[in-house]
Amino acid sequence: MTNSICGNNQQLRNVLEAINAEPAGISFIIDAEKKLVGVVTDGDFRRLLLSGKKLEDPLLETDYNNCVVASQGEDIHALIKKTNKKVRIIPIIDDKGYPIDYFRYEHKTRFTPVAEPSLTSKELEYLTDAFLSTWISSRGKYIDRFEIEFAQYVDCKFGVATSNGTVAIHLALVALGVGKGDEVIVPDLTFAATINAVLHCGATPVIVDVEKERWTISPHEMEAAITENTKAIIPVHIYGQPCEMDEIMRIANKHKLFVVEDCAEAHGAMYSGKKVGSFGHISTYSFFGNKILTTGEGGMCVTTDVDLDGKMRVLRDHGMSPTKKYWHDEIGFNYRMTNLQAAIGCAQLERIDSILSSRFRIEETYRKCLAELNEITWQLDFQEAKRVVWLVSILVKKKNRNEIIRKLKEQNIDARPFFYPLSKMPIYEQYSTKECKNAQMLSSTGINLPTVEDVDLSKIATAFNL
């Protein structure tokens, strides 16, 4: 640092030598009283030479830049705040104005997505094996293996792999006989796929509010919404938090309703010692690229009912008879998953414990880094539930939410607002009869933060004004 300090009465040659002495490529210019008056970077110097200056010329006041400075002892958050994409070096001065050190911070331009699949050589190995086997369509050893192993993992007997999580819900509802005239209860806070699947069956969705603290469907509101036309309920384990499955199953059994658990965001979560997905008649998963376990695109229906398993297999494959090729007893779909997708799924499933614990570690790091902020409400843990981390999900003050997301975007960090309440979207509002205050509150205050390994937490802290 000392060698890069240069007096303002020197020649440009001395300034260049000072710049050259400092790996950061900068010279700190001081006046006769040894007070910092500005800086010259190697870029500034290049521009001086290009403007016709000679190395023998004296350094003039117009040759150096006034700069933002920091005082000795300023904390790291304050220092980061003083930097930006152009200003990467902040001189630190003592109480007499003499430069004693500098702070350097590179604002990475790399885009940090909200989610990133965790892919290793294991996925590549299985994928290559499936590719080389030439079984790249919807038959092959990985399909069978993935269905069996995934169903086992979620404490179910049968798995029916599908091309995505949305069609998995649709397939489940059709297999349960949900159709025109039936009502299906869905939570207000969920991704639109849940309600769309109901509408694609020709059934009527009934939107109900979620719990304020748990964010999942309110069993009380659910029961209040049951009519003689209700046929099924779709509890959604939103943002990795298990719904109150004991209570939901009690109500469903009392009213003889089907339960389709939407587990798209909760692979591996547990309730009362059992995996989510093992409570409902059929449960569905998504393996989209941003999900805990991914196959690129993909989904799965799981069940322990052998008849439902058989029905779903037929419906998934154009309604074709399993015993008589090209004979169709039902109007089905092509909802099949490919062997290539399943190969990735098998590898992911082998690594699921480490994927889950790494996501918990990421959330833990956020909690530590942002601990000083009492404005943040973290996702809660409930005694009987073992949630998983899908996206790190927090609540902030409504008035600050969009500004925080904007500041994160400015720093190339992708953060997402929570889903809009279904009932607030014109295409769905007719399916809600009551105000869903909790879903509205959560939707306007929730943020999903990037759940990736190398997220730059200092940038996150800056966006939160820390």
Ligand X SMILES: Cc1ncc(COP(=O)(O)O)c(C=O)c1O
Q: Which residues bind ligand X (CB under 6 A)?
A: 164-166, 190-191, 193-194, 236, 262, 264-265, 286, 288, 299
Query: Which residues, 6 or more positions from 104, have their beta carbon under 8 angstroms from its beta carbon?
Result: 24, 88, 89, 90
Q: How far is the CB of 172 from ligand X (least distance, A)?
A: 11
Which residue's CB is nearer to ligand X, number 337 or number 394? Answer: 337
Can you give the C-alpha Rg of the chain in angstroms? Answer: 29
Q: How far is the CB of 89 from ligand X (least distance, A)?
A: 43
Q: If phi over 0 gives left and psi between -120 and 50 gives alpha, with beta otherwise, what is residue 375?
A: alpha
Q: How far is the CB of 370 from ligand X (least distance, A)?
A: 25
Q: How far is the CB of 262 from ligand X (least distance, A)?
A: 5
Q: How far is the CB of 75 from ligand X (least distance, A)?
A: 39
**Token pair for 113:** 């997505």
Q: How far is the CB of 304 from ligand X (least distance, A)?
A: 21
Q: How far is the CB of 300 from ligand X (least distance, A)?
A: 10
Q: How far is the CB of 220 from ligand X (least distance, A)?
A: 21
| Interior angle at CA 89, CA 88 and CA 93, nearest 5 | 150
Q: Three-class SS string for the chain?
A: CHHHEEECCCEHHHHHHHHHHCCCCEEEEECCCCCEEEEEEHHHHHHHHHCCCCCCCECCHHHCECCCCEECCCCHHHHHHHCCCCCCEEEEECCCCCEEEEEECCCCCCCECCCCCCCCHHHHHHHHHHHHCCCCCCCCHHHHHHHHHHHHHCCCCEEEEECCHHHHHHHHHHHCCCCCCCEEEEECCCCCHHHHHHHHCCCEEEEECECCCCCCECHHHHHHCCCCCEEEECCECHHHCCCCHHHHHHHHHHCCCEEEEECCCCCCCEECCEECCCCCCEEEEECECCCCCCCECCEEEEECCHHHHHHHHHHHECCECCCCCCCECCCCCECCCCHHHHHHHHHHHHCHHHHHHHHHHHHHHHHHHCCCCCCCEECCCCCCEECCCCCEEEECCHHHHHHHHHHHHHCCECCEECCCCHHHCCCCHHHECCCCHHHHHHHHHEEEECCCCCCCHHHHHHHCCC
Which residue's CB is nearer to ligand X, number 165 or number 345? Answer: 165
Which residue's CB is nearer to ligand X, number 201 or number 264? Answer: 264
Q: How many Å separate Cα 377 from the centre of its chain?
A: 17
Q: How far is the CB of 210 from ligand X (least distance, A)?
A: 12
Which residue's CB is nearer to ligand X, number 190 or number 303? Answer: 190
Closest-approach residue to ligand X (CB): 165
Which residue's CB is nearer to ligand X, number 286 or number 393? Answer: 286
Which residue's CB is nearer to ligand X, number 165 or number 450? Answer: 165
Which residue's CB is nearer to ligand X, number 15 or number 114? Answer: 114
Q: How far is the CB of 291 from ligand X (least distance, A)?
A: 7
Which residue's CB is nearer to ligand X, number 59 or number 422? Answer: 422
Q: How far is the CB of 72 from ligand X (least distance, A)?
A: 49
Which residue's CB is nearer to ligand X, number 166 or number 444? Answer: 166
